[in-house]
Structure 1
Amino acid sequence: AYDACRYYGALIVAALQGYSKADLLDNEFYSKHKKWFGDKELHPDIKSIADGSYKRPKGYDDGIRGKGYIVAALEAALWAFWSDDDSFEKGALAAVNLGDDTDTTAAIYGQLAGACYGYENLPEDWVKDVYAKTFMKKLRLAVGDALGASVEFRPHEYFIHHPVQDMEGGGTWGLKAGQWTDDTSMALCLASSLITKRGYDPYDQMVRYKWWYKHGYLSSTGQCFDIGNATRDSLEEFIRRQLKLIKLGLCKANEIDNLSWDMIQSVTKFDINCSSPGVAGNGALMRLAPVPLFFYRHPEEAVEYSGHSGRITHGDQKAYDACRYY
């Protein structure tokens, strides 16, 4: 998960800096930008994607899958981007119609495609349907998320006879057309933290994810729904660790969410990484976009923070590198 986030973060940074689509899809992108990744090599599974494993003309029939595993999700999103003929609409629909984790695959696609094509090239009919569209203008992932929300977890076979062709309501979660799911809610939590703290504060990020989980903070319905098992487990572990801080007398219960990360680090050995090795779901990648957006002028920081933003809830090295590269 860590490497998936590093990889994807690098691609988004490059898109924001004006790199062409051909540059982003170059099989040598990683080797040409190794400085951005520091001294941490990509996991072999993520390196295979960087080498172009997603370039499969037949898509699903060639083994591309929109699954919850982060390596498959990254490959599916990049396949949709590679094969979209420079059309956000075509790519987002292709991502959704792979089936299974439809909203997340499309949300991951939307982060990179949106950075590359720009807001003005999103389908107008979709944008007007997105919940809180003025507020959401900079997060293109919301369009992909909302597009796939009504058919999440449907198998690919369903889409052979019922392909998604437009923004729809109902379905899996009974949402209105344009309402988003966990992908966008968590991205908004991350964006809110970066803006409020004026920088990268992983403790505050986890606090805001907890607020979404417990109170529906930044949800399109006012409630938390569609939370992944890995994210839930990490947030429950974070809450347990917060309780230990209270027992240590570091603060009162009503102050626990307002602690400074610098202060916590100076007086305790609090571990903000609340996951474990082997946890490599796509939940680390789906919320990533605010990090490269915030740090795009500083690629090395953007790539490293992209990876770390995934690792706090998804502890596997593949998730870290997928986030770094993307």
Structure 2
Amino acid sequence: HHQLTPDDQFVMARGNRYSSDGEWFTYAAATKGDGSLLERSRVYIARADGTDARTLAIGSEESRTFVKDWHPADRQLLVYDTATTTRCGVYDIQTETLTWFGTGDIQEKPVVWLPDGERFLAIRKAHITTTPIVYDCQTGQAHELAVGGSCSYAPTATDELVIDAHHVLIPRSTPTIPTEVLSYDLQTDTTTTLLRTSDGAVEPSRLVDPEYITYESTDGRSIGALLYRTSKQPSPAIVLVHGGRHGRASEDYHWPSQLLVDRGFTVLRPNYRGSSGRGRAFKQLQYGDLGGHDAMDVAAGGQWLRRQDLVDGDRIAVYGASYGGYLTYVQMV
């Protein structure tokens, strides 16, 4: 066998890709026992039999770096890192040169190369929005795809999203439309709906659009949130805390909120510090402070609700699952 990493490193689950000819593969590795494990990783390349393993000069020493896709001709890699916020890059294997795309102040993550090898599909996250974009590698310009809602991709999804040279699959949803699968025509910027879904939790005519609001936390930091209003006011309210620690409340379809609103509750979904969509610095505010200021952000959301006329201030609850469940527990103790 061939050892692929030094003894103090281990291979991570993401960023492991074979070239189309099956002769090479890439993988990401992080250092064991490193307190910054979630923030640091390196990209390696090796032959399929494990020989000729080497590190690629991608990203900074303080970032997580991964390969998303191989170029159709296997000469370049579509990569991303987290130096400041997630950004897209193209690494040329032969010349060992790296080109970054975008301004670096908005979170952008690559998805897949397009068949012409001159463009790639990516997603752009900003606060509560997720927008699909196509980058032109020659000009460096990004073209936003007009899908009329928020999009999302599975972390491992790559070439199965490409229908042909001019069409890609886009999963799209809005606060009032459950996930649909669209075929997007890159030449005409038009869409065709291939699949519609319905959870049946609430009649479509009773679904509501949330309002994006901001409020000050206990230390004065601005926290963004989605506010779902019910028709009968003043109403009981629920602060609904997202999980994932670095997840977020976004403008896609969220059936728990819609169900609660339909049952007469006002719902507030805060993006406490540590949530994605506001850059690496905002995410890192949570490090070393789990259940601290992020929990205060949640509590401040409840206090903001208490001051609103639309809410019965004596009937405010908090609910969450996973890390959101932990922050809910902190509110009680």
Question: Going by fraction, where is helix more abundant, 1 or 2?
Answer: 1
Question: Is TM more than 0.5 here?
Answer: no
- Where relative contact order (Cα < 8 A, 6+ residues apart) is larger, the structure is 1
Question: Going by fraction, where is strand more abundant, 1 or 2?
Answer: 2
TM-score, with length taken from structure 1: 0.29
TM-score, with length taken from structure 2: 0.29
